A and B are shown apart, each in its own frame.
Chain A
Amino acid sequence: MSNTVSVFSGFQLNDIWFMAEAAGRTMLISAVSIVVGTMVGIVCGWGMNAGNFIVRSTLGPVLDLFRSVPLLIQLVLFYNFFPIIGWALDPFASGIFVLSLYTAALVTQVARAGIDSVGLPMRRASRSLGMSYWQDMRYVVWPIGLRAVFPAWVGVALSVMKDSALVSVLGYVELLRASQILITRTQEPFLILAVAGAFYFALSYPLSKYSQKLEERWAS
């Protein structure tokens, strides 16, 4: 029996489970933020496109702010802002709040480009066929615009998935944070980072290839 106490212990089987759980949390926080952010972003994109001067001149700069300030700063800022106004939000809720707003800021541009991609003649034609404004939106603008910007939306969603790694700064244990915890314990940075990177890659690569293929097919 040796007298030295080993502080570090090697990579074990249940560490894989620990990382898988963390990967699940990464997926959860990004899925919720992408869904909420996309819905808000579509409404904002419509507002930027069809809204009057007041709507556009308030919405534009605000969304621009979210695109021009690093996500890391936004996260820390809001996380420390909520207690000031008396909300007790945990890292998960604050993370979702900020990531959703960030997604919304990016999706707004995509949605706006989608509506713009449907030409005015087409929309006049649908209106003169007797469609209401909302029917025109639902049956003409939505399907055509979606086709035009779907690949761009996939790009935004994937970048939000990757950026969700930054929520670790608030102490939320997602995949990258979990791997850092494991690195501290096992002192095997290369192996663990490779596993974490492989997970992100496995999620992101097929989707980006798929959207690229869709883009090529729809372009022709």
Chain B
Amino acid sequence: MDYNFHWRPVFNKLPELLSAGLTTLEVATLSMIIGIFCGLLLAIARMSDNKLIRWPATVWVELARNTPALFQLFFFGFGLGAFSIHLSPYFIVVAGLAFNNAGYLAENFRGGFQAVPDTQIRAARSLGMTSTQTYIRIVIPQVLRIVYHPMTNQMVWAVLMSSLGMMVGFRELSGETQFFASKTYRMFEYFAVAALIYYAIVKVILGGAKLASFRLFRY
């Protein structure tokens, strides 16, 4: 082995890499928030009796689940260009990840909705709540509790998938790493450090979710 490892250029750029790690976290969180919101709507829409509501939701969910995430990013990046909609790399990543998250979360939410007994909805309605009130105050809090664990997993996936931003020219952790690595040709060193940062981010999310679950689900 006659390769000399040079770690110094990587350590010099560590502040930039760490702040890019924060960008990764920001993009993943934002896409997750949009994804949870859209996923809830999709799950409700898929249980609708109206075909016009059910169909588009089903198409969204199946497309998100059955095509590569990279394809979805390319679609938001280049595909929409055909309709002269040009998004910035930041929005390509957020939109692509949110689309993907919503599709996967919708299936989890659907399972969660089915686990809430019908009798509770009837009880809430007979107490005089409107349908919307019933959903917001009775059903959705329980669904969020049931899908808490799948949701943390999805958050981890969102962080991992955000690395695809590198392929559409977004400078999150992977993109930034690629940028510096191609400047200095220290590919291995840079990406090894990036891998460690990703590992740390994932562990922090999982640990934080565990701590939050003690606080959230005391009862």
A-side interface residues toward B, CB under 8 Å?
65, 68-74, 76-77, 80-81, 83-86, 158, 162-163, 165-166, 168-169, 176, 179-180, 183, 188-191, 193-194, 196-197, 200-201, 204-205, 208
The answer to whether the Cβ of B209 comes within 8 Å of any Cβ in the partner chain is no
**Chain B residues near A74 (CB, 8 Å)?**
195
Category for how many chain B residues contact A:
35 or more
CB within 8 A of A73: which of B62, B63, B174? B174
B60 to A: closest C-beta gap in Å: 13
Q: Can you list 24 A-B contacts (CB < 8 A)?
A: A68-B198, A70-B160, A72-B163, A72-B166, A72-B167, A76-B187, A77-B195, A80-B191, A84-B3, A84-B188, A85-B1, A86-B1, A162-B69, A165-B68, A168-B70, A176-B74, A180-B74, A190-B83, A191-B82, A193-B79, A200-B66, A200-B67, A201-B63, A205-B62
User: Whose C-beta in chain A lies nearest to the C-beta of B164?
Assistant: A72
Known: A65-B199, A183-B78, A188-B82. A80 touches B188 (CB 8 A): yes
B152 to A: closest C-beta gap in Å: 13
B-side interface residues toward A, CB under 8 Å?
1, 3, 62-63, 65-71, 74-75, 78-79, 81-83, 156, 159-161, 163-164, 166-167, 174, 177-178, 187-188, 191-192, 194-195, 198-199, 202-203
Task: Judge whether A69 and B195 touch: CB under 8 Å.
Answer: yes
User: Whose C-beta in chain B lies nearest to the C-beta of A204?
Assistant: B66
Task: Judge whether B70 and A189 touch: CB under 8 Å.
Answer: no
Task: Judge whether A176 and B188 touch: CB under 8 Å.
Answer: no
CB within 8 A of B198: which of A69, A81, A197, A200? A69
A197 to B: closest C-beta gap in Å: 5
A148 to B86, CA, bound (A): 46
Task: Judge whether A208 and B199 touch: CB under 8 Å.
Answer: no
B105 to A: closest C-beta gap in Å: 16
Task: Judge whether A73 and B194 touch: CB under 8 Å.
Answer: yes
Known: A86-B1, A208-B66. A71 touches B188 (CB 8 A): no
Known: A65-B199, A68-B198. A197 touches B67 (CB 8 A): yes
A211 to B: closest C-beta gap in Å: 12
Task: Judge whether B71 and A193 touch: CB under 8 Å.
Answer: yes
A165 to B69, CA, bound (A): 9
A154 to B: closest C-beta gap in Å: 12
Task: Judge whether B1 and A201 touch: CB under 8 Å.
Answer: no
**Chain A residues near B71 (CB, 8 Å)?**
165, 176, 193, 196-197, 200
**Chain B residues near A73 (CB, 8 Å)?**
163, 174, 177, 191, 194-195, 198
Q: A84-B188, A189-B82, A197-B71 are in contact. List 15 more A-B contacts (CB 8 A).
A: A68-B199, A69-B198, A70-B161, A72-B163, A72-B166, A73-B194, A84-B1, A86-B1, A163-B68, A168-B70, A183-B78, A193-B78, A200-B68, A204-B65, A205-B62
